[in-house]
């Protein structure tokens, strides 16, 4: 099998040699072959030395690399044996991660493939108790979906119940408009029960956000439990109530879950019921805008969780996002009782750790609170970040002791 070739300008190959997985269009000198969006392309330097293989797209990021010559040994063919071997290696790492975390309770949901962090640029695969939910962020990876499904079947064997493709909303607009989400293999009713550290959650990958559940907060939810016993807890932007379940399991005296979406509140109530039965008098849920709730009530909480959706998805929106984080956290500080704890997060990739930290400092000053940092938080080990692609470290969080 032969693929089109792409040659970089002289002196513009250093990033690829340092294993950065993106080739920008301005670095390209010329092409050989008829290139279309989603095609597999081999990347060479100006002296015709092979560097990498990836998927082409006519845009600022012209190639998303999934194999580097220095590690693969030469050009690769992304066929079934290639994907099977690659996913098998990744799964072995995940098994070690999940096994090491079993002391907190059984876990059967995790991220199997995390894009650039696993050398699979443009691909996300989440595992939910035997069901793989695939999400492609590039046309090339979406075109590999049948091979990836067969590779998943080979790697997991009888453990794999179904594979669901949820890529329609994450692909480039014009191509995504032609895509329909659906099962690639098998079929399983939703909501589908999973276990995370011994807690039960009901996951709906068909109508839920992202792939159905925010797996990236697993370790941070567990950490919350260490602070929640006997405490009054506010879980803002609760979505499906993950932090609420962990707080109640840890013995919180009361938990309030707030989200502007009634659908999210329904999910939260379902998960509370799945873990505690019909009656859990310690829990109340509120379908309300979080800022409105924080300003409208004078409740003081021992632990407050602020886990908003991304306030900025582009550099042009960053300033407005920073102002939003500042206002939100200033109100959050005002709701924390003296000697209490604030868990605060940002999943906006364009807001880096330093900017997020400085924004929280500004919010604390505005609220007039003295604050100590207890923990710097991030995404868990099944959401790895390539050392050469720091952009993959999107989740930032702080645990703060508020005086």
Helix (H) or strand (E) holding 22: strand 22-24
Cβ burial of 116 (10 Å; 0-12, 13-18, 19+) is buried
Phi, psi at residue 173, to the nearest 5°?
-55, -50
148: its two tokens = 């990836």
Radius of gyration of the chain from its Cα atoms, rounded to whole angstroms:
23
Based on the domain organization, do 133 and 48 belong to the same domain? no
Q: Do 162 and 270 belong together in one domain?
A: no
Strand bridging mode 301-306 / 232-236:
parallel
- Split the chain (403 residues) into runs of 10 and give each run's mean pLDDT: 94 96 97 94 97 97 96 92 98 91 83 98 98 98 98 98 98 97 97 97 95 96 97 98 98 98 96 93 98 94 96 77 95 98 94 95 98 98 96 96 98
Do 230 and 375 belong together in one domain? yes
Whether 131 and 249 map to the same domain: the answer is: no
- Domain hosting 111: range is 80-196
**Last-in-domain residue among 72, 97, 129:** 72
Statement to judge: residues 260 and 127 lie in one domain: no
In a domain, 202, yes or no: no
Count CB neighbours of 228 within 10 A.
25
Point out the residues that are catalytic.
347
Contacts of 282 (CB under 8 A, 6+ apart): 248, 252, 253, 254, 255
> Of the candidates 52, 72, 92, which is a domain's last residue?
72
In this structure, the answer to whether residues 275 and 355 fall within a common structural domain is yes
37 is a domain residue: yes
Q: Examine residue 309 and state whether it is found in any structural domain, yes or no.
A: yes
pLDDT given at position 91: 97
Q: What own/partner pairs with CB < 8 Å and gap ≥ 24 does 287-292 have? A: 287/259, 287/260, 287/261, 287/262, 288/258, 288/259, 288/260, 289/260, 290/236, 290/237, 290/258, 290/259, 290/260, 290/328, 291/327, 291/328, 291/331
Q: If we measure between CA atoms, which residue out of 177, 218, 219, 187 comes closest to residue 201?
A: 218
Domain identity same for 20 and 113: no
Q: Is there a domain that residue 204 lies in?
A: no
Query: Where do runs of H (alpha helix) occur along 197-261?
Result: 218-228, 242-249
Helix, strand, coil percent values for the chain (each to nearest 5) = 35, 30, 35
Predicted TM-score of the model (pTM): 0.95
My answer on whether 236 and 368 are in the same domain is yes
Is 72 strand, coil or helix?
helix
d(CA 362, CA 340) in angstroms, rounded, equals: 19
CA 8 to CA 270: how far, in whole Å?
53
Q: Are residues 223 and 327 in the same domain?
A: yes
Q: What six digits make up the tokens of 289? A: 């805008």
Query: What pLDDT does 132 receive?
Result: 98
Instruction: Tally the domains of the chain.
Output: 3
122 and 192: one domain?
Answer: yes
CA distance readout (Å), 181 to 83, 100, 168, 399? 22, 34, 6, 37
Same domain, yes or no: 315 and 397: yes
Residue 46 Cα to chain centre, angstroms: 36
Give the end of a domain, one of 13, 42, 72.
72
H-assigned helices in 192-317: 218-228, 242-249, 262-276, 290-296
Lookup result for tokens 């923990």? 375
100 located within any domain: yes
Whether 201 is covered by a domain: the verdict is no
C-beta separation of 396 from 351 below 8 A:
yes
Looking at the fold, whether 40 and 102 belong to one and the same domain comes out as: no
pLDDT in tens, 101-114: 666 789 999 999 99
- Whether 206 is in a domain gets the answer no
Neighbouring CB atoms inside 10 A of 296's CB total 10
The residue among 223, 206, 136 whose CA lies nearest residue 176 is 136
Residue 27's CATH number: 2.30.130.10
Is residue 209 assigned to a domain? Answer: no
Domain with 231 in it: what CATH number?
3.40.50.150
**What are 200's two structure tokens?**
């039960």
């Amino acid at each position: 099998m032969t693929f089109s070739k792409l040659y970089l300008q002289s002196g513009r190959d250093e990033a690829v040699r340092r294993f950065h997985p993106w080739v920008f269009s301005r670095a390209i000198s010329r092409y050989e072959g008829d290139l279309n969006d989603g095609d597999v392309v081999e990347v060479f330097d100006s002296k015709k030395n092979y560097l990498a293989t990836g998927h082409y797209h006519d845009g600022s990021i012209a190639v998303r690399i999934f194999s580097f010559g220095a590690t693969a040994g030469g050009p690769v063919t992304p066929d079934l044996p290639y994907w099977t071997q690659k996913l098998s290696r990744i799964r072995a790492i995940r098994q070690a991660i999940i096994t090491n975390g079993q002391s907190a309770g059984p876990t059967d949901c995790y991220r199997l493939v995390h894009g650039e962090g696993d050398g699979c640029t443009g691909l996300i695969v989440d595992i939910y108790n035997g069901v793989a939910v695939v999400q492609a962020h590039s046309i090339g990876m979406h075109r590999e979906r049948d091979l990836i499904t067969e590779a998943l079947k080979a790697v997991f064997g009888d453990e794999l119940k179904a594979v669901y493709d949820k890529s329609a909303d994450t692909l480039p607009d014009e191509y995504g408009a032609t895509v329909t989400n659906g099962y690639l293999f098998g079929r399983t009713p939703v909501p589908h029960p999973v276990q995370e550290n011994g807690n039960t959650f009901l996951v709906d990958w068909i109508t839920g956000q992202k792939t159905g559940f925010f797996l990236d907060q697993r370790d941070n939810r567990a950490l919350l439990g260490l602070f929640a016993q006997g405490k009054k807890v506010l879980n803002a932007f609760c979505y499906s109530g993950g932090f609420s379940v962990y707080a109640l399991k840890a013995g919180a005296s009361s938990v309030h879950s707030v989200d502007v979406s009634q659908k999210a509140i329904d999910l939260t109530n379902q998960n509370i019921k799945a873990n505690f039965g019909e009656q859990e008098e310690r829990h109340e849920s509120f379908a309300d805008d979080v800022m409105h709730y924080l300003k409208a009530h004078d409740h003081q909480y021992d632990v407050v969780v602020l886990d908003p959706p991304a306030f900025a998805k582009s550099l042009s929106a960053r300033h407005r996002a920073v102002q939003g984080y500042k206002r939100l956290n200033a109100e959050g500080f005002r709701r924390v009782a003296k000697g209490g704890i604030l868990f605060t997060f940002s999943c906006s990739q364009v807001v880096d750790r330093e900017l997020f930290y400085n924004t929280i400092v500004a919010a604390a000053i505005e609220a007039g609170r003295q604050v100590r940092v207890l923990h710097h938080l991030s995404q868990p080990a099944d959401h790895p970040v390539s050392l050469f692609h720091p952009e993959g470290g999107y989740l930032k969080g702080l645990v703060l002791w508020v005086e």
